């Protein structure tokens, strides 16, 4: 609220021809600043709405005080003081309006940055979960990996002998006693199964002449993750 200091009040009693209001006579409300970081107790929407309400309250309060000062000066006949007060109040309101606009702009920018960070974090978490689910499914259901290998052979479309590289785990589980069963199921050309100790579980690479098909689970998940990450950056 506007406040006249004691010396100013005394001066008004002695000489009622004018009122002098200085910047120091104003008590400026504290402008809320957006906090940095995510606080668990308060949601982002609540913080934004709260800041908007505070900024609007500041402007409304300043207008109310300006009107009170104008009416008081008019009633007491202090025309000069009234004009000075209105100028001061006008400057004050403009300053507060600029501060409020700055707050709204910063809040919107912060909200967009926060939303982008949350999307990236959620995307990374989603792929971690998806990877674990796929690995569990591979361990529980042999048909999943067999389907991956059969699809890779189909995509290779080789008319000559080729090489199938698999991880140690899949080699011991499916090809320890040979791979004739897979030839019988797919009707493909003869091929050699190679155990690759450097390959992770779910790995599957086919090589034929100058062609290669990598149908490994990890590679497919990585490709999907990359595509979705790039898509998120452009939104």
Q: What are the tens digits of pLDDT across the range 167-193?
A: 998 999 899 888 899 888 888 888 999
174 closest CA partner among 158, 195, 189, 159: 195
Average pLDDT of the residues of the chain: 72
Q: How confident is the model at residue 235 (pLDDT cuts 50, 70, 90)?
A: low
Query: What confidence score (pLDDT) does residue 138 get?
Result: 66
CATH number for the domain formed by residue range(s) 142-234: 3.30.2320
List Cβ neighbours of 216 (8 Å cut-off, separation of 6 or more): 199, 200, 202, 203, 204, 205
Which single residue is written with the structure tokens 């309400």?
Answer: 53
**pTM more than 0.75:** no
Is the pLDDT reported for residue 142 higher than 70?
yes
d(CA 187, CA 167): 23
Structure tokens at 223: 């490709």
Q: What is the pLDDT of residue 80?
A: 67
Check whether 4 has a pLDDT greater than 50: no
Task: Return the pLDDT at 132.
Answer: 66
Instruction: Give the ranges where the chain is alpha helix by DSSP (H).
Output: 6-14, 44-76, 79-140, 142-156, 168-170, 180-186, 217-234
- Distance between CA 89 and CA 97 in Å, rounded? 12
Indicate if the pLDDT at residue 216 is higher than 60.
yes
pLDDT value, residue 76: 64
Structure tokens at 4: 């006249």
Distances (CA, A) of 168 to 90, 131, 175, 198: 79, 19, 10, 8
């Amino acid at each position: 609220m506007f406040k006249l200091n004691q010396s100013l009040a005394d001066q008004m009693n002695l000489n009622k021809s004018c009122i002098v209001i200085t910047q120091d006579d104003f008590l400026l409300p504290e402008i809320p600043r957006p906090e940095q970081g995510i606080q668990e107790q308060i949601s982002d929407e609540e913080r934004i709405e709260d800041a908007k309400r505070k900024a609007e309250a500041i402007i409304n309060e300043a207008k109310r005080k300006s009107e009170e000062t104008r009416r008081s000066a008019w009633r007491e006949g202090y025309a000069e003081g009234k004009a000075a007060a209105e100028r001061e109040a006008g400057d004050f309101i403009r300053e507060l309006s600029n501060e409020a606009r700055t707050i709204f702009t910063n809040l919107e920018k912060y909200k967009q940055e926060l939303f982008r960070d949350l999307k990236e974090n959620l995307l990374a978490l989603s792929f971690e979960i998806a990877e674990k689910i796929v690995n569990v499914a591979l361990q529980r259901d042999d048909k999943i990996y067999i389907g991956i290998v059969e699809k890779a052979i189909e995509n290779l479309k080789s008319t000559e002998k080729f090489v199938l590289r698999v991880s140690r785990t899949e080699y011991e589980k499916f090809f320890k006693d040979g791979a004739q069963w897979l030839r019988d199921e797919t009707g493909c050309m003869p091929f050699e199964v190679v155990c690759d100790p450097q390959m992770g579980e779910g790995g599957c690479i086919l090589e034929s002449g100058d062609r290669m098909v990598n149908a490994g689970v990890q590679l497919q998940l990585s490709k999907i993750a990359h595509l979705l990450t790039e898509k998120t950056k452009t939104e």
